[in-house]
C-alpha cells in the first residue's frame, strides 16, 4: 500500500512525521494541504478531523501523530521506536503537549509572529487568525505568557543538554521520544527570532543535527484527488488489535471519536477496535469507499452515537 502524508511545510507536527519517514526509509507521497480550512479533499478521508498532519496508507487513515507513529512502525516492521516502553511514551506525550504549548507560545509572540506573518497578505493573516481561533474554540492551546514560556524553555533545555550523553535521548538508537521532542525544537529553530534561544545548548544542537540528517526520505508529489482515488481503489486492512472495551460499548457499535483538547470535532463511524493505544472506526463515503480511521486512545473520547 502506498503512503500519503497530508501536511503543509510549516506544520511542526508534520515535521515529526516527515523525519520519521526518512528514518524508517519509507517512500511516500506528499499531499500539501492548506494551513487553514476548508480542506474539501481531505475531510472525506478524516471524517471531519481537522488537525495536521494525517497519514493515509491505502484505505487506512491515521490522525494525530501519536497513532501515526505507531502505524508507521507497524507498517515498517520496526519495533525499536517503542522499545523504551513507559519512558519513551511519557517523554513523547510530554513533548506533544507541554513542550508544544511552550514552543507555540514562543513562536506566536508578536516579535516572532511578525516574521511569519510578513510573508502573508492582510487578508491571509486575518484568515489564519480566524481559523486558529475556531480551532481552539472552547479550549486554549496556550495557557501561559511568553515570559513564562521563555522560563520553561530555559529550564527544559538546560536539563536536556546536560542529559544528552548518548547519540539519542534514551540510547544509541532513536525512539518515538526523539522524534516528538525534535519537532518542537525544530519549530523554535525555524523561527529567526527564536532560533538564538537554542544557541547556548551545544548537545541539543548536535542531537538535532543527527535527527535532521535522517532527512525526509524518498518523496513524490501528489494531490488530494490522487489520494482519494487511491483510497477508493484500496481495501482497508484490519489492524488486528486486541480490544479492551469499557462497559456499555461493543465492537460494531456506532460511535463518535472526539479530541479532548482542542479541535473538538467528532468523527462518526462503526467501532472496529479499541486497544490501550489505538481506536479504529470504519466509515464509508462515495468519495473514498470504505475506510478505517485510526486515533490514539489517549487524548480522545469515544461515545456511542444516539
Q: Does residue 89 sit in the same domain as residue 201?
A: yes
Number of domains in the chain: 2
Q: Does residue 109 sit in the same domain as residue 182?
A: yes
Q: Does residue 28 sit in the same domain as residue 67?
A: yes
Task: For 189-209, write each residue's pLDDT tens digit.
Answer: 999 999 999 999 999 999 999
Please give the pLDDT value at position 1.
81
Asked if 58 and 236 touch (Cβ cutoff 8 Å), the reply is yes
Nearest to 264 by CA among 67, 61, 50: 50
Please give the pLDDT value at position 5.
98
Please give the pLDDT value at position 233.
97
CATH number for the domain harbouring residue 146: 1.20.1050.10
Q: Does residue 187 sit in the same domain as residue 299?
A: no
Q: Does residue 72 sit in the same domain as residue 95?
A: no
* Domain hosting residue 114, numbered range: 85-212
DSSP 3-state percent helix, strand, coil across the chain (nearest 5): 45, 20, 40
CATH number for the domain harbouring residue 239: 3.40.30.110
Q: Does residue 73 sit in the same domain as residue 57?
A: yes
Q: Does residue 179 sit in the same domain as residue 287?
A: no
Q: From first to last of its 306 residues, what are the pLDDT tens digits of the chain?
A: 899 999 999 999 999 999 999 999 999 999 999 988 899 999 999 999 999 999 999 999 999 999 999 999 999 999 999 999 999 999 999 999 999 999 999 998 989 987 666 655 556 556 666 766 676 666 656 678 999 999 999 999 999 999 999 999 999 999 999 999 999 999 999 999 999 999 999 999 999 999 999 999 999 999 999 999 999 999 999 988 988 898 889 999 999 999 999 889 999 999 999 999 999 999 999 999 999 999 999 999 999 997
Q: Does residue 205 sit in the same domain as residue 285?
A: no
Please give the pLDDT value at position 119.
57
Q: Does residue 54 sit in the same domain as residue 114?
A: no
Q: Choose one of 212, 246, 267: the last residue of a domain.
A: 212
Nearest to 43 by CA among 6, 72, 79: 6
Q: Choose one of 212, 244, 267: the last residue of a domain.
A: 212
Question: From edge to edge, which strands make up the β-sheet containing 254-259?
Answer: 219-222, 28-32, 3-7, 54-57, 60-63, 289-296, 278-285, 267-274, 254-259, 300-304
Q: Does residue 248 sit in the same domain as residue 129?
A: no
User: Which 3 state secondary structure label does DSSP give 15?
Assistant: helix
pTM above 0.85, yes or no: yes
Please give the pLDDT value at position 133.
66
> 203 preceded by cis ω (within 30°)?
no
Q: Does residue 122 sit in the same domain as residue 180?
A: yes
Q: Choose one of 194, 212, 230: the last residue of a domain.
A: 212
Please give the pLDDT value at position 11.
93
Q: Does residue 129 sit in the same domain as residue 202?
A: yes
Task: For 146-157, write each residue's pLDDT tens digit.
Answer: 999 999 999 999
Amino acid at each position: 500500500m502506498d503512503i500519503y502524508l497530508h501536511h503543509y511545510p510549516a506544520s511542526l507536527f508534520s515535521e515529526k512525521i516527515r523525519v520519521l519517514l526518512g528514518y524508517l526509509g519509507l517512500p511516500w507521497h506528499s499531499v500539501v494541504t492548506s494551513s487553514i480550512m476548508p480542506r474539501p479533499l481531505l475531510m472525506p478521508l478524516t471524517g471531519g478531523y481537522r488537525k495536521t498532519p494525517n497519514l493515509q496508507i491505502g484505505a487506512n487513515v491515521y490522525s494525530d501523530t501519536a497513532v501515526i507513529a505507531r502505524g508507521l512502525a507497524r507498517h515498517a516492521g520496526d519495533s525499536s521506536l517503542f522499545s523504551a516502553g513507559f519512558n519513551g511514551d511519557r517523554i513523547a506525550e510530554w513533548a506533544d503537549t507541554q513542550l508544544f504549548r511552550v514552543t507555540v507560545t514562543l513562536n506566536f509572540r508578536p516579535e516572532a509572529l511578525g516574521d511569519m506573518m510578513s510573508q502573508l497578505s492582510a487578508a491571509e493573516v486575518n484568515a489564519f487568525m480566524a481559523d486558529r481561533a475556531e480551532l481552539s474554540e472552547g479550549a486554549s492551546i496556550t495557557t501561559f505568557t511568553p515570559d513564562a514560556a521563555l522560563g520553561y524553555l530555559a529550564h527544559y533545555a538546560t536539563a536536556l543538554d546536560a542529559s544528552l550523553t548518548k547519540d539519542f535521548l534514551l540510547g544509541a538508537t532513536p525512539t518515538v521520544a526523539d522524534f516528538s521532542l525534535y519537532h518542537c525544537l525544530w519549530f523554535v529553530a525555524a523561527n529567526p527570532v527564536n532560533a538564538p534561544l537554542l544557541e547556548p545548548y551545544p548537545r541539543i544542537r548536535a542531537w538535532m543535527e543527527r535527527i535532521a540528517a535522517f532527512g525526509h526520505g524518498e518523496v513524490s508529489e501528489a494531490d488530494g484527488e490522487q489520494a482519494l482515488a487511491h483510497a477508493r481503489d484500496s481495501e482497508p486492512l484490519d489492524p488486528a488489535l486486541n480490544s479492551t472495551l469499557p462497559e456499555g460499548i461493543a465492537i460494531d457499535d456506532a460511535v463518535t471519536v472526539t479530541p479532548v483538547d482542542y479541535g473538538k470535532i467528532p468523527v462518526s463511524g462503526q467501532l472496529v477496535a479499541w486497544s490501550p493505544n489505538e481506536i479504529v472506526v470504519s466509515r464509508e463515503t462515495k468519495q473514498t469507499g470504505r475506510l478505517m480511521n485510526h486515533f490514539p486512545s489517549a487524548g480522545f473520547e469515544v461515545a456511542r452515537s444516539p
